Structure formats: C-alpha cells, structure tokens
Amino acid sequence: MLDITQESTSKFITTSRGDIHYNEVGEGYPLILLHGSGPGATGWSNFNKNMSVLGEKYRCIAPDLPGWGQSYAVTLEERRHAESLLEFMDLLGIEKAAIIGNSMGGAVSIRFAAMYQDRISHLITMGSGAGGARLFGFGDGPSEGLKILWKGYRDPSPETMRELVEIMTFDKANASDELVQQRSANARSRQDHLDNFIDGIGKPRFPFVSDAELAGITAPALLIHGRDDRVVHYENTLYLVAQIPNSRAVLINRCGHWAQVEHPQEFNSLVDNFLSNTPA
C-alpha cells in the first residue's frame, strides 16, 4: 500500500472552461476514477482507499468533476461531464483508459462509453443509475438517500453530513468523524457549488443513455452494486447488465452505496482481476 496524502497527490489542469482539480498517483495503465454526487464529494474522498492500493500497479487519476470539489463551477444546464472528461484526457495525453465511476460518476462513465468508444478500454460502475422501466416497482419520487443528499446541499453542517455518510453506507462505523468533517468542510468551502446544485433540484436533467446506446457499448463492463443501497437501488445494475452486451454484475451483501469505501479490499481485487483478465 502506498503512503499517499491528499496534498501530495493534488494537481490542477486548465481546460477550455476552467480549472479541473485532480489527485494522481502511480504509473502504468491509466485508471480514471469518477466520484458520485453529493455535497462535499471529491475524487479524493471517494477513492483515496483505492488509489493507495491500485496505484501500486496503475496510474490512478481522480478528478473533481466540474461543479464539485476544487474544480470550476457549473449550473445544471452547463454540465457536460462526458465532454469535459474527453478534454481532460486529451490535455493529459491519455489516448485510452479504464474508467471507474460511482453513482453519478458511473452515469458519466456509461455516457462516455457510449459516446467515445475508442477512448475507453474498460467500464466499471458502482451504485449507478440506469433509467428505463423499474424492475421491482419501488414507489415514486426520490429515494431515502437522495432526500438526505438534497438536505445536505441546503445544510452542509457536520450533523447533516453524518446523516449523509450513514445513509450512504450499510455499517455506520464507516461514518468516521474524519470523513464527516471532511465532507462538511469541502461543501462549505464552495458556496457556488451548493447554490448551483440547489438551483437544479427539480429541473429536468439530461436523459439517461438509451437502451440502443447501452447495447452499442463495446467496452467490457463490470457493474458493482451494494444489496443494501438506499440511494440507488440495485435494480439499476440488473437493468444495465441486461442491456450492455459484454458485462457482468457483482452484488455485495451488507453493502450500501459506497462499495469502494465499505469493501475496499474486495473492490480493489475485483477491479485488478477484471482489468488483468478481461481483454479490451
């Protein structure tokens, strides 16, 4: 395991729309790790446990997506994360990479895989939405977890961040004081990110990738989901694995929305085995 810190891995790059912050560690084949939504979310907070291990073998790059962390601000209407990722890769001189995404980051990864098939070798998602028809018919409206997530944007206090971290995980022991304080401080440091997200709540979002687009994805896909996810139900991964041709799903019991945080050893092993043994 590499001895890394947020400060020692922190970098910035200037794009046509603004600066993107990212954390980078390791050498070898590039892995781009995309964080999920939520107040205070960053590439580092989502993936530091994984980068310290996977960075021994791969070049791990975890950007703060536009609208999050230390990257430039965007409104809902200005979000073009797949396109921003393409420019980010171009500026770093990365022709092709494996892309790993949690939740919203998974949705970005899926869209990227559908739009830029020659730039992605492997697609890995955790707790990602799928759109389309519901399989199990679990009510309407936002999930329990999304309601807490939205609350966190309006009140990014440590108390609300503890609620958020607890609902993101199966085991409340993962809601460490350090993570709670980190998420709260990250969120409160960028009022522009909070305001832009709040302004977008309830507005129509860009459509999910269509079934035809999912069926056209050529990259092999590993779709991971926690059985106890209270933010995005695991039915979404069942839907995705039925649509993406070269895909496999892993369902983890006693696991919430953050498989990479709650089960880092298993997650790291799954990723390494998939990349090592699944031809692009």
Which residues are the active-site residues?
Answer: 257
Q: CA 274 to CA 272: how far, in whole Å?
A: 5
Instruction: Please count the residues of the chain.
Output: 280
DSSP code of residue 206: P
- Cα(194)–Cα(179) distance, rounded to whole angstroms? 19
- Greatest distance between any 2 Cα atoms in the chain: 46
Instruction: Tell me if residue 121 falls in helix, strand or coil.
Output: strand
28 close to 56: Cβ distance less than 8 angstroms? no
C-alpha to C-alpha distance for 116 and 213, rounded to whole angstroms = 11
- How many angstroms separate the CA atoms of 64 and 42, rounded? 5
